[in-house]
Amino acid sequence: MTSWHSYPKIYAVGHKAVARMRDEGILDGSPRDIGTLVKYVQEDLQEECVDGMKAALWSHYGQDIMRKAVAGIAYWYKDELLASAFEDAAA
């Protein structure tokens, strides 16, 4: 169970979800279980792995996000400087 996206981790969470369904008496032992199984696995992943998922996404996409977040700041600041120059000239 090395990281949130490793197969052993998913299998462990899947086994945990099946056991939970069995304990709750809702395990049918057929493909009809899949919808509930997916729901339970998603709940467990969110509870146990969300921090690792966030870290992995930030590690992969963080620089792109930051680059887009400040994309227009230079143009905005130039407009601010230009506007203040006209205010200073009018005063």
Q: Where are the domains of the chain?
A: 7-90
* pLDDT of the residue at 9: 77
Q: What pLDDT, on the 0 to 100 scale, is given for residue 1?
A: 43
CA nearest to 36, candidates 50, 18, 49: 18
Instruction: Provide the whole-model pTM.
Output: 0.62
pLDDT digits (tens, 9 = 90+) for 3-59: 555 667 788 899 999 999 999 999 999 999 999 999 999 999 999 888 988 999 999
- Rounded Cα distance between 8 and 14, Å, is 10
Residue type for position 78: K
- 57-79 pLDDT tens trace: 999 999 999 999 999 999 999 99
Residue 51 has what pLDDT? 92
